[in-house]
Amino acid sequence: MIRWVVAIFLLLLVFSGLLPFLSRLGLGRLPGDIPFKLFGQPFCLPFGSTLLWSAVAFGIAEVVRLTCLGCA
């Protein structure tokens, strides 16, 4: 359990550092994304963006799986 908490905390730290770059891609502006400020630092919980990017990644993986003839 503590591993998951540490992993999520580290991912949020990395995400918060990449937020200015990722906001140009539309991350953090979809319905379901929750922006807030904590100690003067902007943070975002990208629930809507996560669903969108997960669906895109799943679609790409499915296309690769269906078109890869030599793959097992």
Q: What is the pTM of this model?
A: 0.56
pLDDT at res. 70: 67
pLDDT at res. 72: 60
pLDDT at res. 28: 67
Buried b (16+ CB within 10 A) or exposed e, 17-40: eebeebeeeebbeeeebeeeeeee
Each residue's pLDDT, cut to its tens digit, for the chain (72 residues) gives: 788 788 878 877 777 677 778 778 776 677 888 888 889 887 777 788 778 878 888 998 888 888 877 666
pLDDT at res. 21: 80
Q: Can you tell me the distance from the alpha carbon of 65 to that of 18, in angstroms, rounded to the nearest whole number?
A: 30
Structure tokens at 7: 């992993």
